[in-house]
Amino acid sequence: MDESGIDLTDMLIFLPNRRAVRSVEKMIVDKVGHATLLPRLVPLGEGVEDIDSDEGVLGTVSTLERVVATAYLLSSIPTIKTISNALPVARTLITMQDYLENSSVDISTIDWTTLVDDKYAKHFQDKAQILSVLSRVQNEIFGGRDTETKRRNSDVYAWCDYLKNMNANKSLVVVCGSTASVPVTRDLMSVIASLPNGRIILPGRIFGRAEDFGLDTNPYNAEYKFLSGIGVDVSEVKEIDVGASHIDFMNTAFSNVYSDLSGYDLSNCHLIEAARESEEAAAAAEITARAICDKKTVLIITPDAAGNQRLRTEFERRNIIADFSGGVSGAMTLVGRAILNLFDDWIESGEHIFEEIYASNNFNLFDTIAEIVDKYDENFSPRFDIENPESVAVWRAIKKLSDCLGEIKVGAVDARAFIADSLSDIRVRPPMNDAARVTVLGTIESRMQTADVVILTGLNEGMFPAMGYENPWLPRKISNQIGLPALNHKVSLMALDFMNLSCGREIYWLRSKVSGGVQTQESRFLSRVIVARGAFDTDAGCDILSAVRSRDSVESNPLSYANPQPSADWSDVYVTSLELLIHNPYAFYVRHILDLRPKKDYWIGADVRDFGTLVHSVLENAPADATEQSLIAEMDRRALEVLGNNNLIFYFWHRRFMEIAPIALQMLQETRGAFVEIEGVANIAGRNVRARADRIWGGGVLDIKTGAAPNKKQLLDGTMPQLPLEAYMLQNHGFRFRTTVKSEMPIMQFLQLKSGDTKIIKYDVEETAMAMNAAYSKVTELFNMYSAGGAEYEYRRTGEQKYQEYDDFARADERD
pLDDT for the residue 54: 37
Min mean pLDDT across 16-20, 273-277, 506-510 is at 16-20
Burial-class residue 348 by CB neighbours within 10 Å (0-12, 13-18, 19+): exposed
- Quick one: pLDDT band at residue 565, thresholds 50, 70, 90? confident
Mean pLDDT of all residues in the chain? 87
Report the 3 state secondary structure along 402-413. HHHHCCCCCCHH
380: confidence class by pLDDT, cuts 50, 70, 90 = low
Q: Which of 776, 768, 749 is nearest to 689 (CA)?
A: 776
Task: Look at the alpha carbons of 725, 726, 730, 735 in this order and tell me if their dihedral is positive or negative.
Answer: positive
DSSP symbol at 53: -
The tens digit of pLDDT for each residue in 495-545 reads: 999 999 999 999 999 999 999 889 999 999 999 999 999 999 999 999 999
Check: CB of residue 149 under 8 Å from CB of residue 101: yes
Structural contact between residues 67 and 158, judged by C-beta atoms closer than 8 angstroms: no
The backbone region for 186, taken as left when phi is positive above 0, alpha when psi lies in -120 to 50, beta otherwise, is alpha
Q: Report the pLDDT value the prediction gives residue 47, as an integer from 0 to 100.
A: 52
- Other beta carbons within 10 angstroms of residue 119's beta carbon come to 9
pLDDT at 387 (0 to 100): 66
pLDDT tens readout for residues 440-481? 998 888 888 889 999 999 999 999 998 777 778 888 888 888
Distance CA 456, CA 498 (A): 8
DSSP-based three-state secondary structure for 516: coil
- Tell me the backbone φ, ψ of residue 727, rounded to 5 degrees: -65, -40
Could you give the percent of the chain with pLDDT greater than 70? 94
Residues contacting 553, CB < 8 A, separation 6+: none
pLDDT tens-place string over residues 118-145: 888 888 888 888 888 888 887 778 877 8
The DSSP call for residue 635 is H
Give kind and range of the element (H or E) at residue 565. Answer: none
Q: Point out the least confidently predicted range of 164-178, 597-611, 663-677.
A: 597-611
Residues 128, 116 contacting (CB under 8 angstroms): yes
CA nearest to 511, candidates 530, 493, 496: 530
- Is the whole-model pTM more than 0.85? no
